[in-house]
Amino acid sequence: MSEEDKIWSRYSNDKVDIGEALARVIRTLSKEFPLNGDWTALSLGSSNEPQFRILETAFRGGLYLVDIEEKALETVRERIKRQRTGHVKTICGDYNKLLRDRARAANFRARRMDGRKAHLITLHHSLYYAPETAWSGLFHALSAEVLAPRGAIHAVLMAPRTKETHTTSWLYERFAGTYCGCQNRQDLYAFGKKLAAGRCLPRARICLKKSRVAFFAADFERFMAGVWMILLYPNVHRYTLKQREEIAECMYTMFWKKKRPLIQVQDHLVMYRGIRFKGLL
């Protein structure tokens, strides 16, 4: 899946979309802090992805990268040594276990973040690996124990459903739903609305936005690598040979032959706290 994700990143504007939203969040935070301040950030699950460059330059007070993939962190460690970016720290582990409640989050900050609080916490396509029932507890633990009094949490996730066909949401529902009886119920946008309406995160302001990214590769094998990543094959769903043939034929006929990109509608959620300025997203 890591290799498939690299192909998705190369042939889609997904990381560009995330980078643009991330830059707007940082611009909002920058109005609140002095220019010579040492900001700190915590990135959960996107250690060696392109937005690392933005985070590394903006958060010189400390950038903490949590990832369950040791291989991804090895890439970062080599870069840290080669480019002398000693303010970047890598942490190998499952954030679901490290941060699932306030006690664990407080222990994580004390032991793994040098006792510092983060001015920004990012969850870029990493909430897939946490059940939606755990999101509220995770956000509450992060907000209470890890996030600075003035800061933000930025999360991004694929929309679980859309009225449009020819999207990744449609693709997953059609094939994973039909063959595996699975539905994507991880709705970040709906979760954000609940946060905005509730009182579990005091002094928080929620900003929500939908965006569209496009994926297409001129090489059909690479195009299908992106498709298999969306369909969680083979790590989660094991489609039969006949099912894989049907999926490949469908993608060839409907998309690749017509040079039609696969569209992903994705949701952005930003939780600002202690920020006087109107948050950008």
Where does residue 45 fall: left (phi above 0), alpha (psi -120 to 50 degrees), or beta otherwise?
left
Note the pTM of the prediction, 2 decimals: 0.94
Query: Is residue 260 in some structural domain?
Result: no
Number of domains in the chain: 1
Instruction: Please tell me the distance from the alpha carbon of residue 277 to that of residue 75, in angstroms, as a whole number.
Output: 37
Residue 205 lies in a domain: yes
281 residues of the chain, pLDDT tens digit each: 778 888 999 999 999 999 999 999 999 999 888 777 789 999 998 777 778 889 999 999 999 999 998 888 888 889 889 988 889 999 999 999 999 999 999 999 999 999 999 999 999 999 999 999 999 999 999 999 999 999 999 999 999 988 888 999 999 999 999 999 999 999 999 999 999 988 777 778 999 999 999 999 999 999 999 999 999 999 899 999 999 999 999 999 999 999 999 999 999 999 999 988 776 67
Q: Establish whether the linkage from the previous residue to 160 is cis, with ω within 30° of 0.
A: no
pLDDT for position 98: 96
Pairwise CA distance, residues 210 & 17, whole Å: 11
| Residues in contact with 252: Cβ distance below 8 Å, sequence separation at least 6, in sequence order | 220
Strands 118-124 and 262-273: unpaired
Q: Is residue 201 part of a domain?
A: yes
**What per-residue confidence (pLDDT) applies to 202?**
72
- What is d(CA 196, CA 213) in angstroms, rounded to the nearest whole number? 26
Question: Containing domain of residue 123, as a range?
Answer: 2-158+185-212+266-273
- In angstroms, the CA 194 to CA 189 distance is 9
Question: Which residue type is seen at 195?
Answer: L
| CA dihedral for 109, 82, 38, 203, sign (positive or negative) | negative
Contact 168, 263 (CB under 8 A): yes
Q: Answer yes or no: is 137 within a domain.
A: yes
pLDDT tens digits for range 5-34: 889 999 999 999 999 999 999 999 998 887
Alpha-carbon distance of 168 to 268, in angstroms, equals 16
> Which amino acid, 237?
H
- The pLDDT assigned to 279 comes to 67
Assigned domain for 242 exists: no
Looking at residue 67, which CATH number applies to its domain? Answer: 3.40.50.150
Please enumerate in sequence order all residues whose Cβ is within 8 A of that of 165, keeping only pairs 6 or more positions apart, or say none. Answer: none
Token code pair at residue 114: 């040098």
Q: Are 137 and 105 in contact (CB under 8 A)?
A: no
Question: What is the distance between the alpha carbons of residues 72 and 276, in angstroms, rounded to a whole number?
Answer: 37
Do the beta carbons of residue 89 and residue 119 sit within 8 Å?
Answer: no
Which of 176, 191, 158, 150 has its CA nearest to residue 275?
A: 150
Phi, psi of 85 (to 5 degrees): -110, 70
Residue written as token pair 């990109």 = 261
Q: Is 163 helix (H, G, I), strand (E, B) or coil?
A: coil
- Report CA dihedral (123, 125, 129, 132) to the nearest 10 degrees: 80
Joined together, the tokens standing for residue 157 give 């996730």
Residue 246 lies in a domain: no
Closest CA to 89 of 52, 139, 126: 52
In b/e form, how buried is each residue of 129-147, taking b as 16+ CB within 10 angstroms? ebeeeebebbbbbbbebbb
